[in-house]
Amino acid sequence: MLELKSVNKKFGGLHAVNDVSFRVEPGCIKAVIGPNGAGKTTLFNLITGNLPVTSGTISFEGQEIQNTKPHQAAALGMARTFQNVKLFHGMTALECVMVGRHLRSRAGFISGLFNLPWTWKEERAIRAASMELLDMLQIAEFAGVEATSLSFGQQRAVEMARALALEPRLLLLDEPAAGLNIYETAEIARLIRRIRDMGITVVLVEHDMSLVMDISDEVVVLSFGRKLAEDSPLNIQQNEEVIKIYLGEDDAFAQ
Amino acid sequence: MKKRKHLGIVGLCLLVVGIHLYTAQTGTQFYLTQLTMAAYYGLLVIGLGVLMGYAGQISIGHAGFFAIGGYLSAALTTHNLLPFQDRPLVELLDNLGLLQPSVDLYGGALLTVVPWAACLFAMCMAALIALIIGIPVLKLKGHYLAMATLGFGMIIYRILLATPYFGAADGISGVPAFTLVPAIGSFEPIVVSGAFGLRVMNFYLAFGFLIIGMILLLNLIDSRSGRALRSLHGSGEAAEASGIDTAGFKLRVFVLSAVYAALAGVMLTHYNGGIGPSEASVMKSVRYVALVAVGGMTNLWGILIMGVGLTFLSLRGVFGVYDDAVFGMILILVMLFAPNGILSLRIQSVLHRLFPRGSGNEPMEKQHRSAESPGS
């Protein structure tokens, strides 16, 4: 599905991502974890084309994508959410999700200007599909509310609905549980599993270890831009090097 | 949403008819002249409004596009092509029926380009120039985009001021009337002209353009492309992640607003019978930005009302010799007190600010009072 081969990213003297390689198999949930500053979000931005790679290749379904722009990557079938929720100011929750249907509709600039009749059916379809997603995420009642005025948890749900509206084959979630309470986190866990069961491959960056260990099929650990380990959640929990970076040297020895 | 759009358009049509009837009743039809002009400026301002308010891209160079439209149309319809009659290009144009004979002020014979052709050429050139400068310039953001478009406006102004073909400091006068629709049977021709007898027709014509322009923009905002524009304003990164080619959409709306400006320029030039370099000046561009801001950026109706209303007052000379200063002042006051536009201010909250009654949020009100006191 997604394959990274010795991907490097340098910001001046900082080697943010250092020779990272891993594969994501279709239909699984893969988590990328690591301490702050390990290069997780940078890695995400490299995959989605928000940042150019310094060297290495990233391929998605066999196609090299390290040079594509973000909107082209989205057109190939990957959607993402952001660490600090990015919704569109001045648009309702429903409209935000409708933007997610952009790639699944095709009315152009001119037909928009003249409100050509053939676009009406498409508009209705966009609206219906978006409403369905809001419904699935249990925020249908806020469809007409300005998205940025919703609570943080609801905003996350809107963002998730927008990403799902693309009908992606790969979904990248950047800290989906950040800022959520334990109930909302449990809800997110259920939702991510459900998304996987819909046939969408999920890659997530997350700090919440209980969530990661609970839902992921495989875990990649990054530390200072390098891949430290890649294994099943159970094995990762027992990996001494991983314990060391998470708990500190002394604690690791004490154990 | 849809219903509100239709109501607004119907309301605007009724208002236009109402103004005509009122001026006819009170014998103040001379107002129609400035209203006609204000409507054309309004066309430019709503186009700029979509660019600034909805797509979030500022342009301090739109007077440049207005001037490109006006000047090209004026130059083509006034410059005599008789001396070049045997040149292949002129012959070709003549054979295509794009040239017409006419007479100048002193009765001399002229051969000039037909206004229709000149108008289309001017609008296409404005679109092309917008495309060419838009590709590099729209990569910039915020202050940098403002400065780059300001530079563009200055270049156009200086080119017009220095080129004899465009009349240098005098501009171009003697621009002929523009027959939009020729006489068919018993129907009179529809002509863009400042002739006294055509005042009422041109008043309706100008507002017709404005209303059609408005309908198209309202359609756009509600469409898939409109959502894409608004989303790239909200968060470019998230718009890209949703598969929106943000650079492409910025460029398209930039070109659209340039075409609106050029059309306004063409029509107003034919209406006034001429155009001068001051139309391309930076002060004009700043004024258009101010009008969009006063109308409330993301409120196309507010932009239209304020754009036409304030321009009308300005053309009537209400602001006297301080005209530009008044627009500068308006810009400052709007930014301070009504960043969402004048129409977003609720009377109540204004009164509340002016006469606080010792409620809970007193410190904030004190601040407002102290800010207002130097002006009042």
What's the rounded Cα separation, in Å, for the pair B339 and B331?
10
- B309 lies in some domain: no
Tokens 């009042």 sit on residue: B376
Position B55 in a domain: yes
Cα A13 to chain center, whole Å? 28
Q: How far apart are CA B94 and CA B158, in angstroms?
A: 32
Q: Which of B280, B340, B304 is nearest to B15 (CA)?
A: B304
Average pLDDT over chain B reads 87
Asked if B243 lies within 8 A of A105 by C-beta distance, the reply is no
Task: With beta carbons under 8 A apart, name residues in chain B contacting A103.
Answer: 242-243
B4-27 pLDDT tens trace? 788 899 999 999 999 999 999 998
Say what the pLDDT of residue B346 is.
Answer: 62
CATH class of A1-77+168-255: alpha beta
Domain membership of residue B315 (yes or no) is no
Q: How many domains does one find in chain B?
A: 1
Domain extent, residue B99, equals 2-275
Q: Are B46 and B300 in contact (CB under 8 A)?
A: yes
Considering only A150-164, A167-181, B335-349, which range has the smallest mean pLDDT? B335-349
Q: What value does the mean pLDDT take over residues A55-77?
A: 93
% of chain A exceeding 90 in pLDDT: 69
A90 and B234: CB-CB below 8 Å? yes
B271-295: per-residue pLDDT in tens? 999 999 999 999 999 999 999 998 8
Domain extent listing, chain A: 1-77+168-255, 87-165
Is the minimum CB–CB distance between A162 and chain B shorter than 8 Å?
yes
Residue A221 C-alpha, separation from nearest chain B C-alpha, in angstroms: 25
DSSP A92: B
- What's the confidence (pLDDT) of residue B90? 87
Is residue A187 predicted with pLDDT exceeding 60?
yes
Q: Is the pLDDT reported for residue B356 higher than 80?
A: no
Say how far apart CA A126 and CA A157 lie, in whole Å.
18
Residue B334 confidence class, pLDDT cut points 50, 70, 90: confident
d(CA B55, CA A88): 12
Write down the ipTM of this complex. 0.89
B278, burial (CB in 10 Å: exposed 0-12, middle 13-18, buried 19+): middle
Q: What pLDDT does residue B208 have?
A: 96
C-alpha A110/C-alpha B224 separation (Å) is 11
Residue B368 falls inside a structural domain: no
pLDDT above 70 coverage of chain B, percent: 90
pTM of the model: 0.89
Residues of A in contact with B237 (CB under 8 A): 50, 70, 82, 86
In a domain, B64, yes or no: yes
Check: CB of residue B76 under 8 Å from CB of residue B113. yes
Q: How many inter-chain contacts (A to B, CB under 8 Å) are there?
A: 112
Nearest to B64 by CA among B133, B135, B114: B133
Cβ atoms of residues A112 and A83 within 8 Å: no
In tens, the pLDDT along B54-100 reads: 999 999 999 999 999 999 999 999 988 888 888 888 888 888 888 88
Residue B167 to residue A116: CA distance in whole angstroms = 43
pLDDT surpassing 80 at residue A206: yes
Residue partners of B10: CB distance under 8 A and separation at least 6: none
